[in-house]
Amino acid sequence: MLIGELCKQAGVSRDTVRYYERFGLLDKATQPHVTNTYKQYSALSLQRIRLIVHAKALGFTLAEIRDVIDVWDSPGFGTADKVACLQAKLRELDEKSHALSELRAGLLNALDKVGGECVDAEIAD
């Protein structure tokens, strides 16, 4: 598919696709005809962009996403290596989830105290 169709199906701009290519998140598109500059993108590119968009929405940085993609695509990584790297990423997610839960609890506590009298003992809680 051409970049316009890829963008339409993925819900991203052409600049985004080109940036993802430069950043190493997408494989370089093929140019089947030397007489024009049209690039052909695969269904894998579409799937990859959807993964990137979803991961970004969940708070992952592009560098973190690239790390996971590199592990997945690397022929130098055996199955055990891939499993270990992905498990490490899952542990990071669990840690972030826990930290977000604690932050949420703190914000709920602060919300309960809005408009009330500030007491030093309450701040320490």
Question: 18-50: per-residue pLDDT in tens?
Answer: 999 999 899 877 766 666 778 889 899 999 999
Task: Please tell me the predicted confidence (pLDDT) of residue 17.
Answer: 94
Task: Please tell me the predicted confidence (pLDDT) of residue 116.
Answer: 77
Question: 101-125: per-residue pLDDT in tens?
Answer: 999 999 999 999 888 776 665 555 5
Final residue in a domain of this structure, among 19, 37, 60: 60
* Range 51-62 average pLDDT: 88
Residue 30's nearest CA partner among 15, 48, 42 is 42
What separation in angstroms does the CA of 53 have from each of 41, 43, 56, 77, 88?
17, 16, 5, 25, 21
Report yes or no on 90 lying in a domain: yes
- Could you tell me if 17 and 3 are in contact, meaning their C-beta atoms sit under 8 angstroms apart? yes
How far is it, in rounded angstroms, from Cα 68 to Cα 93? Answer: 13
The range of the structural domain enclosing residue 10 comes to 1-60
Q: How confident is the model at residue 75 (pLDDT cuts 50, 70, 90)?
A: confident
How far is it, in rounded angstroms, from Cα 50 to Cα 12? Answer: 9
On whether both 50 and 78 belong to a single domain, the answer is no
Rg of the chain over Cα atoms, rounded to whole angstroms, equals 22
Report yes or no on 41 lying in a domain: yes
| Number of domains forming the structure of the chain | 2
Report yes or no on 69 lying in a domain: no
Q: How confident is the model at residue 95 (pLDDT cuts 50, 70, 90)?
A: very high
Kindly tell me if the per-residue pLDDT of 51 is higher than 80: yes
How far is it, in rounded angstroms, from Cα 107 to Cα 123? Answer: 13
Task: Please tell me the predicted confidence (pLDDT) of residue 55.
Answer: 87
- Cβ-proximal residues to 33 (8 Å cutoff; 6+ apart), any chain: none
- Could you tell me if 82 and 71 are in contact, meaning their C-beta atoms sit under 8 angstroms apart? yes
Average pLDDT, rounded, for the chain = 86
Structure tokens at 120: 């030093």
pLDDT > 70: what percent of the chain? 89
